[in-house]
């Protein structure tokens, strides 16, 4: 078992068991059984160079040979990328990733890509789908992501000065313009008891969840293009609070009452297209045993097979599938 990505000490992924189910060989005809490229966005306190993330990328290629894996990075150095998980404007970061992926010669010419988001990387990937979605995402999987925000800021270890400094600013003025423009976790903070302040000042989450009076129809249209959206919640998660946010549920932190997604207005009026996906059997509510981002190679291998396996697609000219609305 290893821990991703809200810990600064990632453990090395165990070697994949040799007992993985066999898969058919890739076909070499014009219509090929091909693994789509995989995009990974890591979580708070992590960076693109971690051994744990490299192990995940290797596992993805081992389970589905030929998979091209792109780990998103927001700086050229690991330390800079880690800092960007705490400090930065998320709207600008998503725009940077949109440009990063669209300029990649492999990703930009693929008929579609798959996407894997760890913790906060999950809601950031969803924002990518809603706001630009080129290259288009076919299947999106998120682990312990805070789709409905957090109502409690993560505590930091005594020795983690970057985290502790960010935490102090978060607690001092969540809804100030400075904090909403510079402190990453504040931009997906959402306390049901502070909804008025949230709707007025949230610089990121209130927008990508289409919670304001004026809805962005593009967000709904783009999310509905997903072939499958798998949302995984950790059963014993005490890091991402509330854990049910991974399923878009709302939790009253005083009473503990949980309002599931299907009972919320966001779903009933289908602000994001989640209801439409659900009715088509494309929205998955899944649980993972254990604490936040404690994952095993066996579990990941199973998910890679189920969500990121090779697909049967004709090889069209660049961008043709997207124009045809296939993905």
Kindly report, residue by residue over 32-88, the tens digit of the pLDDT. 688 999 999 999 999 999 999 999 999 999 999 999 999 999 999 999 999 999 999
Q: Which residue among 119, 151, 202, 245 is the active-site one?
A: 119
- Considering Cα of 303, then 305, then 310, then 312, what sign does the dihedral take? negative
Active site residue 191: no
Active site residue 237: yes
144-177 burial, b for 16+ CB within 10 Å, e for fewer?
A: bbbbbbbbebbebeeeeebbeebbebbeeebeee
What integer is the mean pLDDT of 208-217? 98
Q: What is the pLDDT of residues 7-31, one digit of tens each?
A: 333 333 333 333 333 433 334 333 4
Q: Which residue among 7, 245, 292, 297 is the active-site one?
A: 292
Q: Provide the percentage of residues in the chain whose pLDDT is more than 90.
A: 77
Q: Which residue among 81, 237, 270, 297 is the active-site one?
A: 237
Using CA atoms, how far apart are residues 44 and 80, in angstroms rounded to an integer?
13
Query: Does residue 314 surpass a pLDDT of 90?
Result: no
What integer is the mean pLDDT of 241-268? 96
Give me the domains of the chain, ranges plus CATH numbers: 34-148+216-307 (3.40.50.1820)
Active site residue 270: no
Number of CB atoms found within 10 A of residue 259's CB: 16
What integer is the mean pLDDT of 241-269? 96
């Amino acid at each position: 078992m290893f821990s991703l990505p809200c810990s600064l000490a990632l453990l090395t992924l165990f070697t994949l068991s040799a007992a993985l189910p066999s898969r058919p060989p890739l076909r070499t005809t014009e219509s090929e059984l091909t693994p789509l490229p995989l995009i990974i966005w890591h979580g708070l306190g992590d960076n693109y160079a971690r051994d744990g993330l490299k192990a995940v990328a290797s596992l993805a290629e081992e389970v589905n040979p030929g998979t091209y894996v792109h780990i998103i990075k927001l700086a050229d150095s690991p330390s800079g990328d880690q800092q960007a998980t705490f400090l930065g404007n998320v709207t600008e970061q998503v725009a940077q990733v949109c440009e990063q992926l669209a300029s990649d010669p492999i990703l930009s010419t693929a008929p579609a890509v798959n996407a894997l988001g760890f913790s906060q990387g999950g809601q950031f990937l969803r924002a990518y789908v809603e706001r630009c979605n080129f290259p288009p995402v076919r299947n999106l999987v998120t682990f312990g992501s805070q789709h409905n925000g957090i109502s409690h800021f993560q505590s930091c270890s005594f020795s983690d000065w970057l985290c502790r400094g960010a935490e102090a600013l978060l607690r001092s003025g969540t809804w100030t313009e400075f904090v909403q423009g510079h402190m990453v976790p504040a931009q997906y903070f959402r306390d049901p008891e502070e909804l008025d302040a949230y709707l007025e000042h949230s610089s990121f989450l209130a927008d990508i969840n289409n919670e304001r009076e004026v809805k962005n129809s593009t967000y709904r249209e783009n999310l509905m293009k997903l072939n499958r959206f798998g949302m995984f919640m950790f059963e014993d998660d005490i890091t991402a609070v509330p854990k049910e946010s991974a399923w878009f549920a709302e939790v009253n932190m005083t009473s503990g009452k949980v309002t599931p997604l299907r009972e919320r207005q966001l779903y009933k009026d289908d602000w994001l297209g989640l209801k439409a996906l659900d009715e088509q059997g494309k929205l998955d509510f899944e649980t993972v045993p254990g604490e936040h981002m404690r994952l095993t190679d066996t579990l990941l291998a199973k998910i890679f097979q189920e969500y990121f396996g090779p697909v049967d697609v004709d090889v069209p000219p660049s961008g043709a599938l997207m124009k045809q609305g296939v993905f």
